[in-house]
Every structure is written in structure tokens, then in C-alpha cells.
Amino acid sequence: MLTHIRHVTPVPPNTATGAVAEVYRQLATDFGVYAPPVMLHSPAPEALRACWTLLRETLLADGLVSRRAKEVVAEAVSLGNRCPYCVDVHGAAVTGLVGRPGRRPVNRDPATDPELTALAEWGRRSGEPADRPTPPFPLAYAPELIGVAVVFHYLNRMVHVFLQESPLPGTTGPVRKVASQIASRVMGGLAGVRVPPGRSVDLLPPAPIPAAPGWSLGQPHIAAAMARSAGALHAAGAQVLPKRTRALVLATLADPPAPTLAAGTFFDAALTALPPDERPLGRLALLTALAPYRVTAGDIAACRVAGADDATLVRTAAWASLSAARLIGAGLDNDLIAHTDDPGPEAKR
């Protein structure tokens, strides 16, 4: 599993200490495997704690929504972001959960279930603000379903930068087919484990929970996980990126380029606003937020030349990834409120 990670060297489980060891312990217990998308954060322990807390409290923890429905969203968001690694892992979980006893509601096949089909379409298009479908779930499900969408918009970006393309061998053929079948059985079994909510929240210091966007407020452990993780990664970003670099990324996220511009010289032109010594990390942050699939080994090497170590690379990418994901979450929250006929006091936040 550690061989899946590129550009940084993760902390091996047998040498981990302190907070890293505690995250690994919870990861092995609640997820069932040492997942590379989480472990890649280990050079920056606060980013590791934030990533795990976000993933555990949204996707894994017991709640109102079935694990299968949440895995459908995880796979769909990853499809929309063209992240084959996460598609393979969470697609295997979706397949492996068919027919298994589920938590509310029962685990069903999304291919024959219109509710899960609608949920998958919503997840796949969740990162497209001009073309998102109406949220196909009630307000009470928002903390878990918008939460999973936000977490996978975050994780997909990190995976694009720091992991190989897929955990499975090959691209087609019998070896790939057998590996997919095994992965489905394994992931389906692991996803059937009950995970009590809230256990990871205290890995991070308390942080104020903002009133808006309010999609997480209905479930306190998810609201706390998001607030504490955002606080930790905000501080991590401030530690490694100058204020003007962060401002450039946030301004570009607020007014992103058209896809045709993003495919050209847009990023090079945008980075001229920064001093030359800030451009390597600025480029990594900007690309991670907006086009993570375009981060190259050359971009990482330029950051190294500028003095970045593993922790700096992880902190830079994690800050940029969560900045982008939180903005998407705010848009999904607005969509839900706009399409709720009688939102009630919880929606009038």
C-alpha cells in the first residue's frame, strides 16, 4: 500500500508514534486497512488528523444514511473528478455491499434503484455549479451526503497529486477482473463494520462552528469534524504559504477560468502576480485547487528546489484541496435550501 504513494514518504505504521500512531490505530479499526489516501498525509501530522477526522465522521460513522448510499456518492464524486484510484476503491465498496444487511435504508443495487441512481448523478455533477441537479434527499441527510461529497472533492485532489492512478493491477483483462472481484468482497466486508460517530473529533483542538454554510449543523459530530479540520488546515496553509499566495488561490476559486482557458496558459499568467520565489508552491496550490490532474513531477521538483520538504508539500496541497472542497459544499448547501419547500427552522440558519 505504501508503494501507491508518490512524491512524499509516508510514516510506516511500525514506526509511527504519537498522533500519527493514534490515527493509524483508528484507521485500521474503523476502515479496516491502512488506506493510502489517508496515509499520504502523515508527513504533516495535523493534516493527517484532519483528513482522517473528515473521512471517518462523514463516510464511515453510523447515521441516518446507509453506508451504501454514502459509498455511491463517494464513487460518483470521484467519477466526476476523474479520479480512478477513488473510483476503484469506492466502486468496489458499492459492489461489495449489494445484498448485505444495511443500516437505514437497506443496501440496494444502484443500477436498479432510482433513489440511488439520482444520488449518483447528483454526486457526479456536484462540482459543476452551473449544471447541478436538484438535491435528491431531505434536509436531514445533508450533513452526511454533502459531507461525503465535500470530503471526496478534497480527497480526489490529494489523490491526483500524491497517488498512482489505481490500486488495482492493469487496466483490462482477466487479472484486473479478478482483482476487482476480490476488492469488492474485501471492501464490502470492511464497509459492514459499525462505526460509532464522534470518536475522531478530539484528535483536533476545538474550533468555532460557523453558522454558514450550515449543511453540517444537523449532526454535531460532523459539524465539529468540519470546523476542526478546516481550522487545522487553514493554519497549515498559513504556515507554508504567504498571504498573497493564498489570496491568489482563493480569488481564482471564487472566479475560476473557463475550461478552455484552464487548459492553456492561464495558470502561468496568474502566477506572474507572485514573486518568483513564491511561484513553485503557488503553482502547486493553484493546480491542486483547480486542476490537480495537471500537477507533474516537474512541479514537485520545482517546489523541492525552492526548499519544500514533504510536510510543506502536503500542507500546501491539503490547504488548497479543502479550500476548493468547502466552496463546493457551500454551493451544495445553497442548492438544498433553494429546493426545500418548507425548510423549517434548521434551514433558516
Q: Which residues are catalytic?
A: 86
> Which residue has cell 506572474?
272
Q: What is the DSSP string of 89-127?
A: HHHHHHHHTTTS--SSS----TTT-HHHHHHHHHHHTTT
CB contact set of 22 (below 8 Å; sequence gap of 6+) = 203
Q: CA 69 to CA 117: how far, in whole Å? A: 10
Distances from the Cα of 258 to the Cα of 25, 242, 246, angstroms: 43, 26, 21
Q: What angle, rounded to 10 degrees, do the helices at 297-305 and 279-290 form?
A: 150
Burial (CB < 10 A; 0-12, 13-18, 19+), residue 343, is middle
